[in-house]
Amino acid sequence: MTERTLTVPLPFDAMERIYDQLAEAIDRAGPDNEAVFLTKLVLVMAHRAGHALDVESCIEAARGTVAFKPPSGPAAC
């Protein structure tokens, strides 16, 4: 069994600041680099959090809140 650290959710005002900073960083990265920036951000955060963060369940939680486009191209059978 893995030891886990319990965390307290961020207050709403802190979430708003993070949202604003993230939106600005995504805008600065530009449409061509948005996915790369977000992927690198998640990897940095996962590395810093270490075992205290269940990255896989966070990905699943985020996946449940995003409307994914169906695959396109030859592999979309």
Note the pLDDT tens digit of each residue in 6-51: 577 889 999 999 999 999 999 999 999 999 999 999 889 888 887 6
Cα 11 from chain centroid?
Answer: 18
User: Which tens digit of pLDDT belongs to each residue from 5-17?
Assistant: 557 788 999 999 9
Q: How far is CA 70 from CA 31, 42, 66, 77, in A?
A: 20, 23, 12, 10
